[in-house]
Amino acid sequence: MIRYAISLGLVFIISLIMSYLEYGLTLTLLVSFLIISFGIFLPYYHTIFQQKNVTKIEKFLIRNKKQPIYQFYYAIANELDDEIEASLEKVLKKQKLAPKRAIIEVIYHLYKKDRRSAKEKIELIENPLLKKYYEASIQIDERRYRVAEPMINELTQDWMKDALYSEIALKKQNRKQAIKHAKAAYENAKGLQKYMLYKSYTRDFPELTL
């Protein structure tokens, strides 16, 4: 509520200034709209993409669970099967764009360990980075490490590389190396992805302090 009050206060002050300087009504309304949007959506953007405090991220997700997309991510991270199914249905009903639906569906199918369905949906993902990441993850799951490693090296996000290398090490039963990469992935990740990794790694590596 505080950020809304601040935004509205800024709008009021700037509107007065622009009116005094005889700016047009259209420009005044546009600037007011941008200020309100900035004040409302910036905290969401920061939490989803930049926040590194997992406690704050979790509180954000719980507070916004009425929105199906946030409920879905929270449920996946915490392995709440009933909530996953309920939120997935709502998300897919609302999201009509196939490439965006595909990302959610890939996450769901990988969670359910349904590689065949995941492969089908990966083909619909337009974001090349995400597509490569999930393709490499499938190759690792099928123990095709020589195929996966060149794909991993093409990724530009360090957390993605380390997360996948952790998967490889874990499958090869090299727990020490898996933990090393898991810790690096967690440290480099931000926002929702950091929270997802945190929940996953605290289950997979209880001896790891994050």
In a domain, residue 128? The reply is no
In a domain, residue 38? The reply is yes
How would you class 203 by CB atoms within 10 Å of its CB: exposed for 0-12, middle for 13-18, buried for 19 or more? exposed
Residue 113's pLDDT is what? 92
List per-block mean pLDDT (blocks of 10 residues) for the chain, which spans 210 residues: 38 38 44 44 64 92 92 94 95 89 92 94 92 94 96 95 95 96 95 92 92
Domain span at residue 30 reads 1-50
Residue 46's pLDDT is what? 62
Residue 45's pLDDT is what? 56
In a domain, residue 11? The reply is yes
pTM above 0.95, yes or no: no
In a domain, residue 37? The reply is yes
Q: Are 72 and 111 in contact (CB under 8 A)?
A: no
In a domain, residue 3? The reply is yes
In a domain, residue 12? The reply is yes
Q: First vs last Cα of the chain: how many Å apart?
A: 32
Residue 51's pLDDT is what? 87
In a domain, residue 19? The reply is yes
In a domain, residue 22? The reply is yes
State the total domains in the chain. 1
